[in-house]
Structure 1
Amino acid sequence: MIRLEGALYPWRFRLVLLLLALMVGAIVWRIVDLHVFDHDFLKAHGDARSVRHIPIPAHRGLMTDRNGEPLAVSTPVTTLWANGKELQAGKAQWPTLAAALGQEPKAFAERLQASSEREFLYLVRGLTPEQGQQVLDLKVPGVYAIEEFRRFYPGGEVTAHVVGFTDIDDRGREGMELAFDDWLAGVPGKRQVLKDRRGRLIKDVQVSQNAKAGKALALSIDLRLQYLAHRELRNALVEFGAKAGSLVMIDVKTGEVLAMVNQPTYNPNNRRNLQPAAMRNRAMIDVFEPGSTMKPFSMAAALESGRWKPTDIVDVYPGTLRIGRYTIRDVSRAEGGKLDLTGILIKSSNVGMSKIAFDIGGQSIYTLMQQVGLGQDTGLGFPGERVGNLPNHREWRQAETATLSYGYGLSVTAVQLVHAYSVLANNGRSVPLSMTRMDRKPEGVQVIPESVAQTIQGMLQQVVEAPGGAYRAKVPGYHVAGKSGTARKATVGAKGYTENAYRALFAGFGPVADPRIAVAIVIDEPSKGGYYGGLISAPVFGKVMAGALRLMNIAPDNLPPPEEPQTASAAAGKGGRS
């Protein structure tokens, strides 16, 4: 007799039925829950398969000069991309597409074939909207467009080293574009769209997040002065066959950089044939021994010590001074072999400066040079800026003391050099430098006694105006002050100096009655017509300073006295005799 298993074990059958009922109940409950209570879950998963967010590009902030003239602007461009899989359906149109993009058909076809499995590849970036639309009008399947922004620089090569540039993704890569990238960069927005399973746009739903443009940035430079400095520096390099050069101009009262130019330069709007050496902002990155341009600071240290006064006499005969194995030489011989302190600066006497330095000690010169910013960070925050080197010694021997006093054994940048001269021009008060426009005058720090700074101003005025001085730096209608320098170039990778390789330097300020502008010029390896700073760089100073003082409407302080009007009787007598 056959008996059913369920009859023998009825509890097992009931357990299976119960489990099946629970499973069915759980499924029913989940269906009800998803459709009634938690319907957002299904909606979210559905949207994930059809709703997409595409970025809305944000343009970078406008960069201007101190007067609002544009230096860097963002212009809309079209970027074309393609779905490699969809492109395979339109192979017959590839030659037409290649021609429209300006690409070689065979290489273009090979590239598309190699990317046949990719759903995204760039075809070309940075087209004008008109050019992009012409390609889209071909109706090639799988070709799409993205709106982006590209940076344009109205100043071109004139402002390249200051402004810098951005890369193809609109990120700062050089200059102020890099230094202020976070400030200038905008925040992209988001647009919600519906796409099908092939990625084709079905509907533009809404803007879920608006793009936020970058913030504007006003630099301290004056575009008029920038063009002036660029022209005169370029002309000097051509005239004297120089390898490179830099010029920096700053506002003495505020520390704002009014102009900064370098040669060679480059066009940031077209970088196809860009040479890396041309990108270097030499005014901030190149360091050099400043030579005789340091003598005014050594002289200031002497006056500050109280041991010397301007009328003191130094015997510099016979124009040489032996220190151990070294011999210090003067280029210009002093008549009678004796010079006062102003005469030492006018003749640029290394012997006279060394003897003064031996008396006051190297440490006092070092301290003053450090206080005016040499060997120190300028605080500009410019990418790649160097601080140079101002050596300090536990024991200042005569050789180190002498070389420091006339500008050897230390290294500075052109920016540091002009900043140091601005301290002298500002009556011994140091103000921080700035590459951005300042709305109010900053507080300064008195680092040189005012009386000492004013005495040095008068001495440097004589350096320009006295017979035998740097007369090429004169500015008609104004009293200006400055000092030339000629420094041998150190050998790279070895000790010593390169044969017949010099830097011609000049640094100064004006007008002397109330100094407003300081300028420093460095011209590297002039090869024609000489190499002395008073011959090569001083004329550039004179031309740039003359133009700058007039552009800034600074009143002349050296006009000839007006002629006395003739009296009526004198005029009548003159008429009677004729």
Structure 2
Amino acid sequence: MNWRFRFILGLITLSFFVVIARLFYWQVVKAQELSTMGQLQYGKVVTTLSKRGEIKTSDGFPIAANKITYRVFANPKEVKDLKETAELISTTLGIDHASVSANLSLDRFWISIATEVEPKAKNDLKKLGLQGVGFEEQYTRFYPEASMAAHLIGFVGKDDLSRPKGYFGLEGYYDLLLKGREGKAIQIHDAFGRPILAKLGDLEKQIDGSDLLLSLDRSAQFLVEKRLKEGVEKFGAQSGMAAVINPKTGEILAMSSFPNFNPENYEDSPDSVYKNPFISDLYEPGSTFKPLVMSSALDLKLITPQTKCSACAGPVSVSGYDIHTWNDKYYKDINMIDVIMHSDNTGMVFVAQKLGVSGMIKYLKRFGIGDLTGIDLQGEISPTIKSENLWYPVDLATTGFGQGISITPIELLSATSAIANKGERMQPHIIIGIKNPDGSTVKIQPKSLGNPISPETAKVMTEIMVNAVDKGEASWARLKEYRIAGKTGTASIPIAGHYDQTKTIASFIGFAPANNPKFAMLVILNRPTSSIYGAETAAPIFFDIAKDLLIYYGIPPGE
């Protein structure tokens, strides 16, 4: 009898533990899954978009902001008069009637009819009181200054799933930070399985994007764009670009390219105009490269400013190639100061040969040539410098005067800024702070990229460049009341295996005031037609902008 009692008691105990185990499994282990399944029985998971962060200039102005627009949606099963509803919607919103009618004919509980509907159109439609039609608030990117700084800002388009996504410039580079994190919610259904309009229950709350605080000076940007556009038109150039940097911090104060586009209506412009040529286009810099080569030889003490060129009495022959000066004028025993002033190619071959291939490569790398600058914009490129064993004597010679080597404009501006900043190169950047959704702000500190040359060399090179401005080919355009360091550039464009002397890249690079620079600037014109020379095209644009900036920053004459 006892064994039967014990058997039954054991069976009951075992059954009890089995029930407890199953309850634990369903109520603890599978709890989240069952909860989700239950929610899905009376609703569906929908994505709620976060508010994209704003992009603000140095004065706090939102150059990229958001405006409230609406998604118009409908429940076709609640629409009473399909034909009339489709007619009213299409007429009010100005969209295709056939598309609206086709959507309303679908056997669904929810369909999207239109997005980015302006508040006025939404209100006009709402007043009609159409059965089964609802509205969902959303954010649409808005650019208050239209095309200003378009290449720097980029734009917001759509990804493969039709969700907002940043492309190019800051919008592309900082897309993840700007867009924040999407939320998830349950769209509640009624007893008949129909979604209750605008009735959402949070599953995962969205996190809004962070704001970007820029070093971009809106007034400086306006001045640069105005002068650059005038110059491109005046000198008949195919395109043009310019950028202004604070050489002491690496902060970009202005950056512009023409032709440009309106980020809000980017679809109206060809794809080819979207990329920022200042960081994405390669070109041969020509004579604006000479200060880098000259300062390298000065830093190694291979030459002094008074060193005489023993190879400048006429054209120089290198590996069967005759190298001439730009105007076929030659100066026997010319010194290094005058080599830069006259932009003498034979003099720069002399300097390059003093450097040698190993010295040239060493200093180019120290100046950041052949490497990405790390500027915080989407699309930067940089070709690498070829290995020493791949250099020919003619490569060394032509690199001395900026031909046969391709770089980006930002590489040259960054490198030349080291001369302006006592030999220290700072990383170019546009973001100076990030404001998080919780209101806290993270400041971005300037970053040094090293010292390619000594302060003493930088001082000597600065004076050589000041002399070039005062006495060189562009002296006619200079600002006599200010000390400005600079260098012209005219580079022939390689076409079909040879250089076309009638098609050039005209440029001017410099910084001001020379003793204590507030800014460094590079201006480039692509294929100007009124004149092929930088001294007659890019230089006057540079000095026009420089004058505007010096006045704007309150720098008195004599500096």
Q: TM-score range by the shorter chain?
A: 0.7 to 0.9
Partner of 1:97: 89
Structure 2 contact 241–525 (Cα < 8 Å) conserved: yes
Partner of 1:166: 156
Other structure's SS at 1:337 match:
coil
Comparing 405-414 with 130-139, which one deviates more in the overlay? 130-139
Alignment of 1:51-70 (within 5 A): 51=43, 54-70=46-62
Instruction: State the alpha-carbon separation in 1 of the partners of residues 256 and 537 from structure 2.
Output: 17
User: Alpha carbons of 1:451 and 1:62: their partners in 2 closer, same or farther (altered >3 Å)?
Assistant: same
User: What's the CA shift for 1:189?
Assistant: 4.0
Partner of 1:471: 475
User: What's the CA shift for 1:551?
Assistant: 2.2
**Aligned counterpart in structure 1 of residue 489 of structure 2, from 485, 488, 491:** 485
Other structure's SS at 1:177 match:
helix
Instruction: State the alpha-carbon separation in 1 of the partners of residues 35 and 419 from structure 2.
Output: 73
Partner of 2:513: 511
Partner of 1:353: 348
Instruction: State the alpha-carbon separation in 1 of the partners of residues 411 and 200 from structure 2.
Output: 57
Instruction: State the alpha-carbon separation in 2 of the partners of residues 101 and 460 from structure 1.
Output: 61
Structure 2 contact 56–213 (Cα < 8 Å) conserved: yes
User: What's the CA shift for 1:121?
Assistant: 3.6
Note the residue ranges of structure 1 that are not aligned, 5 or more in a row. 1-28, 559-578
Instruction: State the alpha-carbon separation in 2 of the partners of residues 158 and 211 from structure 1.
Output: 31
Partner of 2:189: 195
Which letter maps to 2:548?
Answer: G
Alignment of 1:421-432 (within 5 A): 421-432=416-427
Comparing 263-272 with 96-105, which one deviates more in the overlay? 96-105
Alignment of 1:395-410 (within 5 A): 396-410=391-405
Q: Would you say how many aligned residue pairs link Structure 1 and Structure 2?
A: 522
Other structure's SS at 2:177 match:
helix
Instruction: State the alpha-carbon separation in 1 of the partners of residues 413 and 425 from structure 2.
Output: 12
User: What's the CA shift for 1:517?
Assistant: 1.0
**Aligned counterpart in structure 1 of residue 300 of structure 2, from 302, 305, 309:** 305
Other structure's SS at 1:446 match:
coil
User: Alpha carbons of 1:557 and 1:363: their partners in 2 closer, same or farther (altered >3 Å)?
Assistant: farther
Structure 1 contact 501–525 (Cα < 8 Å) conserved: yes
Matched, 1:49 2:41: yes
User: Alpha carbons of 1:490 and 1:199: their partners in 2 closer, same or farther (altered >3 Å)?
Assistant: farther
Structure 1 contact 511–556 (Cα < 8 Å) conserved: no
Partner of 1:339: 334
Other structure's SS at 1:367 match:
helix
Structure 2 contact 486–511 (Cα < 8 Å) conserved: yes
User: What's the CA shift for 1:164?
Assistant: 0.9
Which letter maps to 2:455?
Answer: E
Partner of 2:385: 390
**Per-residue CA distance 1:521-552 (angstroms, 9 max, x = gap):** 1110111x201111111111111122222323
Which letter maps to 1:503?
Answer: I
**Per-residue CA distance 1:88-123 (angstroms, 9 max, x = gap):** 8522332222211213435643x337x623544432
User: Alpha carbons of 1:370 and 1:80: their partners in 2 closer, same or farther (altered >3 Å)?
Assistant: same
**Per-residue CA distance 1:33-77 (angstroms, 9 max, x = gap):** 9xxx99x99998665433555544321112101221211111111
**Per-residue CA distance 1:280-333 (angstroms, 9 max, x = gap):** 210010000111111112211221232311112224555412223311011235
Matched, 1:460 2:465: yes
User: What's the CA shift for 1:338?
Assistant: 3.5
Partner of 2:15: none
Partner of 1:245: 240
Other structure's SS at 1:364 match:
helix
Instruction: State the alpha-carbon separation in 2 of the partners of residues 306 and 504 from structure 1.
Output: 31
Other structure's SS at 1:339 match:
coil
**Per-residue CA distance 1:147-187 (angstroms, 9 max, x = gap):** 11001112221111111111253321221111111111133
Which letter maps to 1:300?
Answer: S
Instruction: State the alpha-carbon separation in 2 of the partners of residues 455 and 140 from structure 1.
Output: 77
Structure 2 contact 361–388 (Cα < 8 Å) conserved: no
Partner of 1:181: 175
Q: Give aligned-pair identity as a percent.
A: 26
User: Alpha carbons of 1:191 and 1:444: their partners in 2 closer, same or farther (altered >3 Å)?
Assistant: closer
Other structure's SS at 1:445 match:
coil
Comparing 457-466 with 42-51, which one deviates more in the overlay? 42-51
Matched, 1:78 2:82: no
Matched, 1:446 2:448: no
Comparing 56-65 with 340-349, which one deviates more in the overlay? 56-65
Alignment of 1:557-572 (within 5 A): 557-558=558-559
Which protein has the larger Cα radius of gyration, Structure 1 or Structure 2? Answer: 1
User: What's the CA shift for 1:413?
Assistant: 0.8
Note the residue ranges of structure 2 that are not aligned, 5 or more in a row. 1-18, 434-442
Comparing 121-130 with 406-415, which one deviates more in the overlay? 121-130
Partner of 1:112: 103
Other structure's SS at 1:482 match:
strand
Structure 1 contact 513–557 (Cα < 8 Å) conserved: no
Other structure's SS at 1:469 match:
coil
Which letter maps to 1:79?
Answer: R
Instruction: State the alpha-carbon separation in 2 of the partners of residues 204 and 53 from structure 1.
Output: 12
**Aligned counterpart in structure 1 of residue 430 of structure 2, from 420, 431, 435:** 435
Instruction: State the alpha-carbon separation in 2 of the partners of residues 348 and 50 from structure 1.
Output: 78
Give the TM-score taking structure 2 as reference length: 0.85
Which letter maps to 1:225?
Answer: A
